[in-house]
Amino acid sequence: MSEQRRGDRPTVPHGLAAVRQALDEAEAKDSVGALPYLREAADRLTELIDEAMATAVLTGQASLRGAGAQAGLTENAVGPRLARTRSLGAYADDRGRVTAAGVERAKYDLETGQPRQPAAPPAPMRFKPRRPS
């Protein structure tokens, strides 16, 4: 994700502030108490990476493969992650992946001012113990 600059100081996107806050909370806890905050930071950072990839492919700055490579992902991992984004989620196919065709359609819709409305995002998967402990 590119940072905008004002003078010599970079401005930090709002999402990074939430990641930093979760990390600050984790730092003040013991290892067990830090875990929920570290998980929150990891989840928020994953969302930021996914949104940055979506922006990169929508603006033509990168291909699906190129965006994935910059994020350290394989090409096969990019489509499902883009399907979770606000900007490209509505363009996912029935397998839950955004393909090059979906990106092209999203670009066209964006240019014409008629982007598809995203469906409600699915809740993230969480571990649920079988029995109370």
Q: What tokens does 58 get?
A: 């929508």
Report which secondary-structure segment, H or E, holds 9: strand 9-10
Give residue 40's identity as a one-letter amino acid code.
Answer: E
- Position 122 scores a pLDDT of 59
43-77 in b/e burial notation, b at 16+ Cβ within 10 A?
Answer: ebbebbbbbbbbbbbbeeebebeebbeebebeeee
Tell me the per-residue pLDDT of 34-68, one tens digit each, with 9 for 90 and over. 999 999 999 999 999 999 999 999 999 999 999 99
pLDDT tens-digit profile of 79-111?
999 999 999 999 999 999 999 999 999 999 988
Q: Which residue has the tokens 């939430």?
A: 18
Q: What is the pLDDT of residue 127?
A: 75
